[in-house]
């Protein structure tokens, strides 16, 4: 039995080292497909439509972040994989029915006001039109209940850690797709 446990521990350690060497991270958030993403270093210059590893702002940034931490919808300090929806100079229009960037509506970007089952009201960023200034980025995750800038607003460019690409993901693993929302 000792040799089985030793072998298992060695295998887990080897996989962890291999993932670190390959710059792979496991995304278990349901904002993007669950799976492995390869981190490719500097994301600059930033482009809309790119996936990035991002550090979500702290609870002082917006009430939605504080609410998410309070109800443990996500762990504190864990970087996430998100899509850049808009960069400085672009215009974002946030409405109940969705997010528009420079006049084009992002798919499946409706702002949800209640948690699934209507158990808790969700705080969101104020509806309106926002012209992104230098140093601001609007983040997007394509689905209902996805925690993105629709809830906490634009984030500083400095929150972007690295560029990311899917390496191995599970298609359809997002929460909202599984539940038909």
Peptide bond into 148 cis (omega under 30): no
Tell whether 63 is covered by a domain: yes
> Are residues 90 and 102 in contact, defined by beta-carbon separation less than 8 angstroms?
yes
Tell whether 128 is covered by a domain: yes
Tell whether 178 is covered by a domain: no
Tell whether 180 is covered by a domain: no
Domain CATH code at residue 100? 2.10.109.10
Q: How many domains does the chain have?
A: 1
State CA 56 to chain mean position distance.
8
Question: What does the DSSP 8-state code read for residue 124?
Answer: -
Write out pLDDT tens, residues 38-71: 999 998 999 999 999 998 777 677 787 777 777 7
User: What per-residue confidence (pLDDT) applies to 121?
Assistant: 74
> Are residues 124 and 151 in contact, defined by beta-carbon separation less than 8 angstroms?
yes
Structural domain boundaries enclosing 20: 1-172
Nearest CA among 161, 142, 150, 2 for reference residue 68: 150
Q: What is the pTM of this model?
A: 0.81
């Amino acid at each position: 039995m000792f040799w089985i446990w030793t072998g298992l521990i060695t295998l887990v350690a080897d996989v962890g080292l291999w993932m670190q060497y390959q710059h792979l991270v496991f995304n278990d958030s349901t904002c993007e497909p669950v799976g492995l993403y390869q981190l490719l270093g500097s994301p600059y210059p930033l482009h809309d439509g790119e996936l990035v590893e991002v550090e979500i702002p702290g609870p002082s940034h917006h009430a939605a972040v504080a609410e998410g931490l309070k109800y443990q919808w996500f762990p504190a300090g864990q970087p996430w994989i998100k899509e850049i929806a808009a960069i400085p100079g672009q215009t974002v229009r946030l409405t109940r029915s969705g997010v528009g960037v420079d006049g084009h509506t992002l798919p499946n970007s409706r702002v949800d006001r209640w948690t699934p089952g209507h158990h808790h009201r969700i705080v969101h960023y104020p509806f309106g039109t926002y012209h992104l200034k230098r140093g601001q980025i609007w983040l997007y995750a394509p689905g209902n209940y996805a925690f993105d800038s629709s809830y906490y607003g634009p984030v500083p460019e400095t929150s972007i850690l690295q560029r990311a690409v899917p390496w191995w993901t599970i298609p359809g693993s997002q929460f909202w797709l599984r539940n038909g929302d």
